[in-house]
Structures are given as C-alpha cells and as structure tokens.
C-alpha cells in the first residue's frame, strides 16, 4: 500500500473514532462541497459544473426533460408550437414569481435571451443560445423565438442550460450586481454569495405549485468550496459537510468502511479527452501540426489501464468524441487507437522526431490523470511539462492559443445532443483549435437538418474525420464517486446534475 494511502487510512481511522459523522438533518441544512467554484454565479457567465448545479437548483427553464423517460414537459412554458422550421412560439406560465417577488412573464424571457446574445453580455456559454436569432413578446403571455437556421435540438437546450432572468432586476443591478445577489425562480433561492468560499441557499416558499421539480424537502443548502480532497473527506467524516463528490477511487474504498457514510458510484456524461493545438499557435513549428505526431500520442496512452486503475467504477473507454447516449454519437467507422507504444515510436520517427520532443500540457482537474498521460508520453520520448491551472485560467489560455495539449473534460451541460459537445470544440468557435472547414460543415449540417437520419450521417462524418486526423483523443467517460451521510436520500443521474431539490432526509 502506498505511503499516501497508509497515511490517509490512519487519519481517517482517527477521525472515525473521534468524530462519528453528524449529518445536517438536525438543522435541516444540507452542506455540499466541491473543489472549485464558478467564476460567476450567473448561469450564462460560467461553464463550471458547480455552476450548472447551482443553476438547476435555483433557476427554472422554459421546458423540463424528465430524466426517467427523456420526454419534454411544461415548465415555465405551458405550451410550444413550431410555426415553421425557424420559428418557435411558446406560452409562458402565469402565476410564477422570482425570488424577489417580481412576477415572471414573457418580457423576462425575451430580455434574457436577447441580452445573452449581445456581445456586451460577455456570455461564457454562448454556444447554448447561439442558435437563436432573437426573441420577441407576441402577447400578454406569449413569446416567439426566431432561429438563425433550423435547429432540431432547440427543445433540448430550452430544457437545460437556458434559465430565465428577471428583466427589471437585472437591468437595475447589472451583471456585477447580479453575480453578488442573483435572483432566479427555482426551488431554492440564493441568500448569500461568498466569493472563494461558497454559496448559501434556502427553500423558496413561494415556488410555484405543480412544478415537475416538486417542492424541496430540505430547507437549506450550503455550497462550500474546499479545494483539497483530503480536507473534504475530513469534513465529511466530522460532520462539517454532508455530501462530496469526485472522490478518488482509493479514497472511496476507504470511505465505504466508514460508519454512517454512503458511497455511490455512477457513470456520468462527462468525457475526458486530449485536445491538440493542430494550428501550432502555442509553439513555433509545433510537432502537433503533423497528423502522425498526434496519432503517435494517441497510440502512446493506455486508456484502458487508466480506466481500470485510476478512474474505475462505471467508466468506459471512448473512441468517438462524444458521450454514447447523446443523439448523433456513434463510433462506427471511427478510427481506433489501441495502446501501442511501438507504433507510436515508429510514427514519431517517420514524422522526424526519433528522439521525441518537448511540449506543454495544460490541465485543470484530476491532476493524477494528467500526470499518468505525461508518464505514457515520456515512455515514447515526448517530454511533456504540466501546466496546472484553475478552470477559468485554463480555458482562457486555451482560447488564446497558449496551450499545446489540453487535458479537457466536458459534460455537455447535460444536453443529450452531439451539438453540445463537438459543436463547442470543432464548429469554429473559441474552443476550436483546428478550424477544419470540412468538420465545421458536417457539424453545421447535423445541427441544422430537420431529418434525424441526415443529422446522424453528418455527425458520423465529423466524428470520423476528427478521429482519423487525431484532432483530439477521446479518453473515457467519467465515473464519479459520491460520498454522503447515510441520513440523506440522494440519487445520482448520468447527466451529472446534483438534484438537491429532490433529496430528502431519512
């Protein structure tokens, strides 16, 4: 057993003996912790998973996708009708109020989408709304969304990463004020944003009846930022927090033996992948401009061993750059890269790098996964230097062309459509390090066609070219370990959304 594991086991044993787990049931406060915080609490101004969780618990969307059967149900919109392929009419629910008491109406819907579509909004998640052209109020309780082009996945996006803001309040306080005191209409309302430390929430007593989310059973939520993994576990063991996640597999095994702690493993939609700077912006005369080098890197990494020994649980190796349950995701006809270091060395030699080369590798989470990749690259002669950053800094560096190899993870904002994955990284936007016209055209065809089979065929072509050119190397789906007090009823979903509004005390 490694020294680190022995030390951790000893410290946990001491904590278990001295401090039996104390849940937040007594004061009806569920405290959950993660390693990072969103750069801005506004759902349109961060792309961190922690921000997605806050959004789903504190803001409502126009539609609701039932995770049990995938059907779309009314939420803030009670009805919707396609006038034509690029015009969507919606009826907005009456009687809903925001957390500050303002009534929610069609003006709020139109303002939200029209605002986040403007350059001035500095929308971080623009890919989630960029399919819209504009939104207009058409009646006392109706709006019309004008699309730039046909976009069959529109309902999926309206049921996910597109919450509604209170127009009057947002206009009054602006983005900076909204980030400090955000207002939504969801089951929980945010009572305090403590930058760098966390967010406090409480059940919204005026939440509208008959919501598909239901009325929360737990009175208060508190999100705490605890960067160090062992500190999060210690807090769980001593009753400082009730719920943690992304627990490394070795630590999860130890927690299974702890009294009053439940450990749950679940596969998520999140996929890890290496993205290559194929345009050579980060390094002059970059070896990554050569497809043989990118393929060599792909053959050099034993992804199955990483799944078996690091990720574990329900994780699976991915061959196509998407999550298997997303519409349009397929690995049929996609080039495979089995672990073959000899072939990797041969390709490097053929490309003119018989002794390898030096390169930078950026990452922002699961440092041990990134270090494993660096070890595999070193075995074939590639000396990779790790640049480990916070997510926002990593993302900005990648967009600025300062990252040669990015160790990425993406949960697609829990959208079950390939457009939410490959559309982000290969359709010509800020995250696209390749700008391949053929891939862009295929993705545009897939996004815009109203025929499902045409969409699937177009996406398949894009996925095949991405793999053949080794623009990116899909690694594996993420398997997440959740650990929480046994006093808590909590169900994990593959979309990686922690639905605390559906949790309860036993």
User: pLDDT per position in the chain (506 positions), as tens?
Assistant: 344 444 444 444 444 443 443 448 999 999 999 998 899 999 999 999 999 999 999 999 999 999 888 899 999 999 999 999 999 999 999 999 999 999 999 999 999 999 999 999 999 999 999 999 999 999 999 999 999 999 999 999 999 999 999 999 999 999 999 999 999 999 999 999 999 899 999 999 999 999 999 999 999 999 999 999 999 999 999 999 999 999 998 899 999 999 899 999 999 999 999 999 999 999 999 999 999 999 999 999 999 999 999 999 999 999 999 999 999 999 999 999 999 999 999 999 999 999 999 999 999 989 999 999 999 999 999 999 999 998 889 999 999 999 999 999 999 999 999 999 999 999 999 999 999 999 999 999 999 999 999 999 999 999 999 999 999 999 999 999 999 999 999 999 999 999 999 999 99
The whole-number pLDDT of residue 7 equals 47
**What is the distance of C-alpha 312 from the center of its chain?**
20
Residues 499, 469 share a domain: no
Of the CA atoms within 13 Å of residue 483, those in its CB half-sphere come to: 30
Look up the CATH number of the domain holding residue 61: 3.40.190.10
Question: Per the domain annotation, does 358 fall within a domain?
Answer: yes
What CATH number is given to the structural domain containing 282? 3.10.105.10
Residue 68 confidence (pLDDT)? 87
Provide the number of structural domains found in the chain: 2
Strand partners, 479: 267
Question: What 3-state class would DSSP assign to 267?
Answer: strand
Does residue 220 sit in the same domain as residue 304? Answer: no
- 215 vs 26, 117, 218, 489, CA distance in Å? 20, 32, 9, 15
Exposed / middle / buried, residue 74 (Cβ in 10 Å: 0-12, 13-18, 19+): middle
Residues 53 and 74 occupy one common structural domain: yes
Helix locations, 97-166, DSSP H: 106-116, 154-158
* In a shared domain, residues 453 and 487: no
Q: What letters, b where the CB count within 10 A reaches 16 and e where it falls short, cover 361-397?
A: bbbbbbeebbbbbbebbeebbbebeebebebbebbeb
Q: Looking at the domain assignment, is residue 249 inside a domain?
A: no
pLDDT at 24: 85
Same domain, 277 and 422: yes
Residues 181 and 299 in one domain: no
In a domain, 403, yes or no: yes
Looking at the fold, whether 52 and 137 belong to one and the same domain comes out as yes
- On whether both 313 and 461 belong to a single domain, the answer is yes
Residue 10 CB contacts under 8 Å (≥ 6 apart), including other chains: none
Q: Which residue has the tokens 């002059």?
A: 284
User: Would 175 be classed as within a structural domain?
Assistant: yes
- Burial label for 324, CB within 10 Å (0-12, 13-18, 19+), is middle
Would residue 253 count as lying in a domain?
no
Contact indicator for 328, 456 with CB cutoff of 8 Å: yes
Task: Flag whether 487 is in a domain.
Answer: yes
Does 85 lie in the same domain as 159?
yes
All residues at 6 or more sequence positions from 351 whose CB lies less than 8 Å from its CB, including other chains: 287, 290, 292, 293, 296
Instruction: Give the C-alpha separation, 367 to 384, whole Å.
Output: 14
178 and 296 inside one domain? no
Q: Are residues 215 and 273 part of one domain?
A: no
**What pLDDT, on the 0 to 100 scale, is given for residue 13?**
47
How far is the C-alpha of 97 from the C-alpha of 208, rounded, in Å?
8
Q: How far apart are alpha carbons 321 and 470 in whole angstroms? A: 11
Sequence-ordered strand ranges (E) for 140-219: 142-147, 188-194, 198-203
Angle at 410 between CA 164 and CA 163, to 5 degrees: 5
Residue 68 is part of which domain span?
A: 25-224+482-505
275 plus 155 within the same structural domain = no
**Whole-angstrom distance, CA of residue 229 vs CA of residue 232:** 5
Q: What is residue 17's predicted lDDT score, i.e. its pLDDT?
A: 42
Cα gap 352→282, rounded to integer Å: 20
Q: Kindly state whether residue 245 falls inside one of the protein's structural domains.
A: no
Inside any domain, residue 229: no
506, with CB counted inside 10 A (0-12, 13-18, 19+), is: exposed
> Cβ atoms within 10 A of the Cβ of 209, count?
8
């Amino acid at each position: 057993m490694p020294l680190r594991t022995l030390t951790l086991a000893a410290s946990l044993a001491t904590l278990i003996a001295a401090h039996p787990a104390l849940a937040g049931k007594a004061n009806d406060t569920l405290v959950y912790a993660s390693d990072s915080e969103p750069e801005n609490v506004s759902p349109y101004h961060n792309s961190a998973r922690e921000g997605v969780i806050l959004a789903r618990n504190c803001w409502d969307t126009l539609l609701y996708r039932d995770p049990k059967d995938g059907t779309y149900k009314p939420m803030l919109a009670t009805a919707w009708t396609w006038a034509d392929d690029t015009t969507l009419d919606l009826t907005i629910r009456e009687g809903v109020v925001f957390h500050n008491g303002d009534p929610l109406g069609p003006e709020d819907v139109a303002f939200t989408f029209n605002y986040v579509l403007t350059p001035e909004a500095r929308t971080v998640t623009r890919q989630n709304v960029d399919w819209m052209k504009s939104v207009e109020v058409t009646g006392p309780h109706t709006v019309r969304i004008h699309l730039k082009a046909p976009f069959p996945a529109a309902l999926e996006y309206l049921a996910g990463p597109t919450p509604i803001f209170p127009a009057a309040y947002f206009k009054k306080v602006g983005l900076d004020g909204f980030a400090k005191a955000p207002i939504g209409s969801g089951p929980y309302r945010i009572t305090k944003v403590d930058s760098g430390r966390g967010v406090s929430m409480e059940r919204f007593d005026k939440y509208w009846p008959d919501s598909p989310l239901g009325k929360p059973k737990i009175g208060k939520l508190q999100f705490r930022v605890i960067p160090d993994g062992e500190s999060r576990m210690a807090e769980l063991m001593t009753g400082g927090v009730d719920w943690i996640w992304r627990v490394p597999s070795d630590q999860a095994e130890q927690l299974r033996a702890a009294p009053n702690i439940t450990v749950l493993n679940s596969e998520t939609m999140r996929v890890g992948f290496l993205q290559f700077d194929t345009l050579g912006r980060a390094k002059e005369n970059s070896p990554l401009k050569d497809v043989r080098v990118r393929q060599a890197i792909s053959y050099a990494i034993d992804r199955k061993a990483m799944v078996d020994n690091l990720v574990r649980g329900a994780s699976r190796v991915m061959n196509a750059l998407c999550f298997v349950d997303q519409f349009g995701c397929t690995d049929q006809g996609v080039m495979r890269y089995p672990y073959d270091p000899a072939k990797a060395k041969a390709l490097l030699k053929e490309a003119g790098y018989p002794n390898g080369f030096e390169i930078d590798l950026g990452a922002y989470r699961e440092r041990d996964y990134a270090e494993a990749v660096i070890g595999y690259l070193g075995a074939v002669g590639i000396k990779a230097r790790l640049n480990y950053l916070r997510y926002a800094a990593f993302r900005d560096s990648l967009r600025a062309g300062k990252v040669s190899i990015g160790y990425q993870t993406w949960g697609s904002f829990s959208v079950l459509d390939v457009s939410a994955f490959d559309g982000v990284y290969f359709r010509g936007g800020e995250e696209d390090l390749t700008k391949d016209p053929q891939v862009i055209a295929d993705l545009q065809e897939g996004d815009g066609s109203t025929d499902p089979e045409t969409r699937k065929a177009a996406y398949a072509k894009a996925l095949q070219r991405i793999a053949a050119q080794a623009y990116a190397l899909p690694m594996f789906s993420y398997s997440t370990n959740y650990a929480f007090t046994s006093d808590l009823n909590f169900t994990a979903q593959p979309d990686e959304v922690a639905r605390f509004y559906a949790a309860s005390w036993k």
